[in-house]
Amino acid sequence: MKTHRTSSAKRGFTLMELMVAMAITTIIVTVLVSITSIALDTWNRSRSELRASRQAKGMIDIMARDFESLITRRGNSNEWLSAIVDPNLTEIGSDNLKSTNASQLIFFTGATDRYNGQLTYLKDGPDYKKGDLKPGDVSCVAYRLSYDDPIEKSGNFKTFLFKRLLINPAPDKEDKTYPNKDGGGNTFEDLLGKPNLADAFNKYLTNISDSTNFVCENIYQFTLTFHVQVSIPPVPPATATTILNVPVTMGKTNDSFKISGTGIVTKPENTAIAGGRITAVEISTTVISDFGVDQIKRRNFSGNQKAEFLAKNSYQYTKLVQLPGM
């Protein structure tokens, strides 16, 4: 009688093999999670930087256009540019983080968007005819920061807002926004020829908070550095005049910088540049990311935490703008 031997049962995994497989799987998953986390962090950082650069570009470009058509005149007592570091403006921000530099800037310029870009009257009327050119090309602009909701003043989504207010050369009868009987503001009657531009502009400042004057958001601070060219007469035995470029930084070296028809006036006073010529202005700004703005509302900062927070959640941008001859 033949006896048949059955084959042994199939072998399973040993405990050691399972442990090795689990270890390898754990390592692979950990690496994948780490790579994904790094990729997401990089993507979020790039997205925040791209949005910040767009905000900064919107702000700096519009300021640069106004500065490039800056209007000043010598031989008079009028004030043509006023940049003031107002202590009250440094209170702009939340209870946790306030702006470090929020200067008030006002100056005359040949703005191309005066009368909303419409250079002729649009309809007939008793005081103007269809097709007539609107009078004047000297406008006045003001820039300020605020901390508010960009959509609703009483809203909960507050952030640092950059505002620009443009006053037309003469009243525009179709614009009833500003405190003038004819609407549209009035640079020629209200602002030109004034010895103190900031005081003359006060009647319009309440309008700068209007949503129509919103330029961009998340602008934490902006700093202006005026470059003044100064000529120093030769001291014998030298025969050549020395030309120096003197930078004047708002909020750092000066509390105010004004251009009048008689020269440059600063506070603290600097007689060395009073007769100088402004040749350029450097615009520097700090833009906080959306995540950073959200964290401002939730966190309190102490010691070096503020500087560390801004270093991680903000971006700095600078542009040098050459100015027309003064």
Strands (E), the chain: 79-84, 104-109, 139-148, 159-167, 214-217, 219-232, 242-249, 256-260, 263-267, 277-288, 314-322
Condensed to tens digits (0 to 9), the pLDDT of residues 114-169 reads: 887 777 765 555 555 556 677 788 999 999 888 888 777 666 778 888 999 999 88
| Of the listed ranges 27-36, 178-187, 216-225, the one predicted with least confidence | 178-187
The identity of residue 226, as a single letter, is F
Give yes or no for residue 182 having a pLDDT over 50. Answer: no
Instruction: Tell me if residue 108 falls in helix, strand or coil.
Output: strand
pLDDT tens per residue across span 202-214: 888 888 878 788 8
Distance CA 254, CA 149 (A): 31
Q: How confident is the model at residue 181 (pLDDT cuts 50, 70, 90)?
A: very low
Side-by-side strand order, sheet with 104-109: 214-217, 159-167, 139-148, 104-109, 79-84, 256-260, 263-267
pTM for the model stands at 0.80
DSSP type of residue 77 = S
Residue 271's pLDDT band, with cuts at 50, 70 and 90, is confident
